[in-house]
Amino acid sequence: MKDQTERQRDRLAAQVFVCTNDRDSEYACCADVGGQETLEAIKSWLRDRNAFWSPIGVVETACLGLCSENGTAIAIQPRNEWYSEVRPDDVPALLESTFGPDATQFRHEAGNSSENGPTAGD
């Protein structure tokens, strides 16, 4: 086992978890309501700001327990922020309000105010 905590803490200011879960069921799942499109919209927004993967990671995930017929579920960690019914068109406003227009505003610990964190290439 290798402890990578310090390395990842240096690289990542936040991670966006995007549900793309697919299931054959009577219940709604994010794959059926644009999960993949929402995931791509998030990556694209971050790439446009040179913030994709570092300092902001994006993780495609299974069910987050916020299933809806109206859009995708997202969690932003370590902020412990959770959203449901996210549509691709919602992504720019959501990420701008979360990370600032240039994707440079981060909170490293719950309860701390916003501050600049690592930037791409750091």
Q: Which residues bind ligand FES (CB under 6 A)?
A: 19, 21, 29-30, 63-67, 73
Closer CB to ligand FES, 11 or 23, in the complex: 23
Supply the minimum distance, in Å, between the C-beta of residue 13 and ligand FES.
24
Measured N-to-C along each axis, helices 91-99 and 35-48 cross at an angle, to the nearest 10 degrees, of 50
Supply the minimum distance, in Å, between the C-beta of residue 16 and ligand FES.
14
Closer CB to ligand FES, 63 or 120, in the complex: 63
- Pairwise CA distance, residues 54 & 122, whole Å: 9
- Name residues whose C-beta falls within 8 Å of residue 120's C-beta, 6 or more positions apart in sequence: 50, 51, 52, 54, 55
* Tokens encoding 99: 């990370």
Closer CB to ligand FES, 42 or 67, in the complex: 67
Tell me if 72 sits within 8 A of 19, measured CB to CB: yes
Closer CB to ligand FES, 75 or 103, in the complex: 75
Q: Report the relative pairing of strands 105-106 and 72-77 from DSSP bridges.
A: unpaired
Supply the minimum distance, in Å, between the C-beta of residue 115 and ligand FES.
30
Supply the minimum distance, in Å, between the C-beta of residue 88 and ligand FES.
15
